């Protein structure tokens, strides 16, 4: 419902709003302030959203302590919601301007980082954008105002995102269910390769089961058009190997306990989709997103 209200806010035309002065829409429940309303001289959805995000924080002093964390996160997520309809260049300029102002207060800067991670990067993000999140993470990773552990947290995320990007080949070493060391490059070429990363959580178990029973995926495997490499984020053991061999007799199975620190695995279970040359087509996909890409009617 809230997304609908935001959309209406962006589209609404007020005949009396013809000056450059920032006009305000009705304040939404649980937010910090009333959002700016674009003038009717902004005739397209993109131009209206550009105007809104440019003036979004005009009436909020980010240098003062944030006292309502819940309302701040709700407001920030609404700010991000407008990004999907705005021009990329405007989004990036707006983000840089906001993060620069936030650096005037170290406590606020850390809160901005935490909220940005949840809104743009983590499993609860409704708008995933590496480019936008990097614009937040880079200043946080280098800010001397923040504790070392906080800076290292964002630096590790940046390293993981940069380690493998779309279009790059994905290759790493793992231990197979046979106890031997293998590499992704040893997997069959010329077919789409799905790399599924799982841990010992219930979500991973359910995701693994859904993929192993997906009719279309199994058909693609049978036709030689796809292959699945399932990697557990754990240390090899004979007990694990005995269990892993039962995942699916059509899959390649292995484990790698340190991969979570090397790759962008922001959500688990996590899928990477590779082409026939093992180059990344898509990364950090949820099981739902992967199944949706395989099943047009999903």
CATH topology (fold) of 173-294: Glutaredoxin (3.40.30)
pLDDT of residue 129: 85
Provide, rounded to the nearest whole percent, the portion of the chain with pLDDT above 90. 70
State phi, psi for 266 to the nearest 5 degrees: -70, -15
| Residue spans per domain, the chain | 2-163, 173-294
**Which own/partner pairs from 235-241 qualify as long-range (CB within 8 Å, at least 24 positions apart)?**
236/175, 236/179, 241/177, 241/178, 241/179
Q: What is the spatial distance between Cα 97 and Cα 74, in angstroms, rounded to a whole number?
A: 20
Residue 12 has pLDDT above 60, yes or no: no
Asked if 228 contacts 252 with a C-beta cutoff of 8 angstroms, the reply is yes
C-alpha atoms less than 13 angstroms from C-alpha of 94 in its C-beta half-sphere: 22
pLDDT of residue 14: 34
**What pTM, to 2 d.p., does this model score?**
0.74
Q: Residue 229 pairs with which residues in a beta bridge?
A: 195, 252
What confidence category does residue 18 fall into, taking pLDDT thresholds of 50, 70 and 90?
A: very low
Q: What is the mean pLDDT of residues 277-293?
A: 90
The three-state DSSP-derived secondary structure of 112-153 is HHHHHHHHHCCCCCCCCCHHHHHHHHHHHHHCCCCCHHHHHH
Asked if 257 contacts 234 with a C-beta cutoff of 8 angstroms, the reply is yes
Q: What is the pLDDT of residues 171-208, one digit of tens each?
A: 999 999 999 999 999 998 889 999 999 999 999 999 99
Q: What is the pLDDT of residues 200-249, one digit of tens each?
A: 999 999 999 999 999 999 999 999 999 999 999 999 999 999 998 788 99
């Amino acid at each position: 419902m809230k997304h609908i209200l935001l959309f209406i806010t962006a589209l609404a035309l007020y005949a009396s709003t013809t000056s450059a002065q920032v006009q305000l829409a009705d304040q939404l429940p649980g937010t910090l302030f009333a959002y700016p309303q674009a003038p009717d001289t902004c005739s397209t959805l993109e131009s209206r959203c550009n105007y809104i995000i440019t003036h979004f924080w005009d009436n909020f002093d980010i240098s003062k302590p944030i006292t309502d964390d819940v309302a701040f996160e709700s407001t920030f997520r609404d700010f991000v919601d407008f990004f999907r309809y705005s021009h990329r260049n405007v989004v990036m300029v707006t983000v840089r301007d906001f993060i620069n102002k936030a650096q005037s207060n170290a406590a606020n800067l850390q809160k901005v980082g935490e909220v940005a991670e949840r809104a743009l990067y983590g499993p609860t993000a409704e708008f995933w954008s590496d480019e936008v999140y990097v614009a937040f993470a880079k200043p946080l990773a280098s800010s001397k105002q923040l504790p070392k552990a906080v800076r290292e947290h964002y630096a590790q995320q940046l390293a993981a995102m940069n380690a493998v990007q779309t279009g790059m080949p994905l290759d790493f070493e793992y231990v197979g269910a046979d106890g031997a060391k293998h590499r992704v490059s040893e997997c069959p070429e010329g077919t789409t390769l799905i790399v599924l990363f799982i841990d010992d959580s219930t979500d991973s178990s359910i995701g693994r089961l859904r993929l192993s029973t997906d009719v279309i995926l199994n058909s693609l495997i049978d036709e030689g058009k796809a292959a699945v490499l399932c990697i557990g984020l754990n240390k090899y053991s004979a007990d694990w190997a005995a269990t892993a061999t039962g995942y699916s007799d059509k899959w390649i199975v292995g484990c790698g306990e340190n991969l979570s620190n090397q790759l962008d695995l922001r959500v688990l279970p996590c899928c990477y989709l590779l082409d026939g040359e093992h180059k990344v087509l898509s990364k950090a996909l949820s099981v739902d997103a992967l199944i949706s890409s395989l099943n047009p009617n999903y």
